[in-house]
Every structure is written in C-alpha cells, then in structure tokens.
Amino acid sequence: MKLYILLFKALRSLYSRAFAASAMLLILCSVAAFAQESAHGVNVGLVYPLSTHGKHAGSYSNIFSLNVIAGVSREEKAFTMAGFANFIREDATGFQVAGFSNFIGGFADGFKGAGFLNMYQSGRGFQVAGFANLAKRDITGMQAAGFINTVRDLNGFQAAGFINIAGGNIHGTQAAGYINIAGDVKGSQFAGFINIAKKVKGVQLAGFINIADSSDYPIGIVNIIKNGEKWLGVTTDDNLTTLLTFRSGGRKLYGIIGVGYNFENTKDVFAMQYGLGAHLVGTGNFRLNAEATAISLENFKRGEFNKFSLSILPAVQLGPLEIFAGPSFNHVNTDTAEGRKLIGHYMWTDTNKDNRLNGLYIGYTAGVQMRF
C-alpha cells in the first residue's frame, strides 16, 4: 500500500513540474502580447509566431485555430488543431486535437484528443490521449489514455491501459489494465491486477487483489477489506483433495485461494484452488454460503485434471472458528488416467477423440477455518 502511495505522490510531483513548465512556455510565448487581449479571431499558421496573429497570438481568444506544428492562444472556443501541440493559456471549449499534446491552463470543455498527452486544470467532456491525461482538479465526463489518467474528483469514467489515479473521490467507474487508485468510490473499479480505494459503494473487480476500508462486493482472489473478513482454513472434498485455504472479502462477497495435496492419486497430487464465494444468509452463529471454485491437480509434467464446482455450504461459527460442510455440483475435465479413475459416480460423461473426459457428478466439500 505504501508503495502505491509513494507512486501517487511521485506522479503528482511530476505532473506539477510538467504543468509549471508548460505554463512558463505559454508565458514566454505570449509575454509580448499581454498589453492587449483580443476578443476573438481566426488563427492559421506554421508555428508560433509564424501565424496570422503573429507575436500577439497568446492574447487572442479564437473560434478557429489551425497550425501545422504548434499554436499558442489565450482561449479557444470552437475548433483547434495542430500537428504537434496546442498551448492554450486559459480555457478551451469545443474540439481541440494535436498530434502530440494539448496544454490547457484552465478549464477543458468538450473533446480533447492528443497522440501523447492532454494536460489541463479541470474539465468536462471527453479527453483521449495515446499516453496520458493529467487533470490537476476535477473532471466530469471521460478520460481515456493508453497508460495513465490522473484527476482529483471524478464524475464519470476513466479508462487506462495501465493506471488510473483519482486523488479525491469517484462517482462513476475506473477501468485499468493493471491498477486503479481512488478515495471514496460510488460506482465500480475494474483492474487487471489491483484496486485500491477507501469506502466503496459498488463493485471492485480485480484479477488478483482488492484493497479498501469498506467494500461489500469485492471480486478478486485476495481482498483486503478493513471492515471485512479474513479466514485461514483447511478443506477437503469427496476425492480427498485437501487444501490450506485463505478466504477474504467483504460482508457479501469473498475470494478464495488454496494450495494442497490429493491423497487418492499417486502422480497428479499437487492441488491449486481459486474461486469466489457469497454470504447468502446469516443469523446468529449460523450462515449459508455459496462458492464457485476451480481446482487443478498437477504433476508438472504431462496431463491435467480440472474440477469446477458450485457448492452450497451451511456454516456454524464457534468463536473465531467456523465449521462448514455441504454438497457440490461438479464438472470434471481431464486427460490423465488417474483423473479418469478419480471419480467413480458420474451422472454424465463424454470422452472425445483425444481421450479427454468431461463429466458431471454430485460431491461434497467440508472444512474448518479460523478468523483473524
């Protein structure tokens, strides 16, 4: 967690320096024009100051700007395009697009498209960049970037190839290829690896881990929820696959991960489990859980045994301990001799031309775990 906080601070520092540098560039480009502030205009040019507004370009509020390389203006109110970059001292409204970057000193309203970077104070609308959208304050609308989006408070949607950062709160959705970071979330977080937030009212879905102060609906293999639950236990099933398990999550959903050993086989003996569980009903010391899990048996050479199970598990809590047991509906997929013999009471089987067995059967799961 500390690592991600340091990452956020480093990115925020980098953003502040980059924004200061771009602001200085705007000042230098337009210092000669501060004596006059033109109300509106049309600017066409090559690069500042080689344009129709010349050295006074930084004082103009334009309704149309077209620059082959880069343009400078005070404000843009409709259409702005540059082959490399747009430098806008104050607000930008409408359609602004650049081959590399848009630097906006004030409010960005409308569509902002850049091949690499959009940088602005706050905004509304849709910002898309090949690498990064960096907003210093709040956004209403959508940010989409190939690598990173940053914002303070977000009312809308963030989509990034690697990381989304909201230094404040979110009312909407974050979706990232690797990590989302936010304060309080009213909405959802979807990440390829990890989500980090404070209070979450919605769904957290991560490829591996969710971290939050409170989150009732975390969907991940590991969920570290401050007001949630963490259980370490031992489970076994009808084919003697015995696992050391870790269950973690919120008040409604939890993740499951386990490793163990199958005592029935002689070759395919090493077991790995992962899955998702839900607390369906709870009253006093009793509750009813449902779990969807997958177990693989391996010898790390050739062949595989996979079992996908849906279990209904009544549970009784005795202090820090919980004892549970219940029936399971299972689908088996295997191409090993041991795997085909492991289950002897299939309801249905099918063997394909590659000698791979698919089968359905009713079994059971039981276990005991301790809360910590």
Based on the number of CB atoms within 10 Å of its own CB, is 53 exposed (0-12), middle (13-18) or buried (19 or more)? buried
Residues 229-371, CATH architecture: Beta Barrel (2.40)
Query: Across the 372 residues of the chain, what is the mean pLDDT of every consecutive 10-residue run?
Result: 53 51 45 47 92 90 96 96 97 98 98 98 98 98 98 98 97 99 98 98 98 98 97 98 98 98 95 98 96 96 93 97 98 93 93 91 98 94
- CA distance linking residue 298 with residue 340, whole number of Å: 14
Local structure of 29: helix, strand or coil: helix
Q: Which amino acid is at 110?
A: G
Best CA proximity match to 8, nearest among 152, 142, 110, 122: 152
Distance CA 341, CA 303 (A): 14
Q: Which residues pair with 137 in a beta bridge?
A: none
DSSP string, 38-67: BS--EEEEEETTEETTGGGGGGBEEEEEEE
Give the per-residue pLDDT at 276.
98
Q: Are 233 and 217 in contact (CB under 8 A)?
A: no
- Domain range list for the chain: 2-225, 229-371
Q: What is the DSSP letter of 347?
A: S
The CA distance from 23 to 25, in Å, is 5
pLDDT of residue 123: 96
Helix (H, G, I), strand (E, B) or coil at 98: strand
pLDDT of res. 302: 83
pLDDT confidence of residue 228: 96
pLDDT of res. 36: 47
pLDDT for the residue numbered 13: 58
List helix spans (H) across the chain: 2-30, 337-342
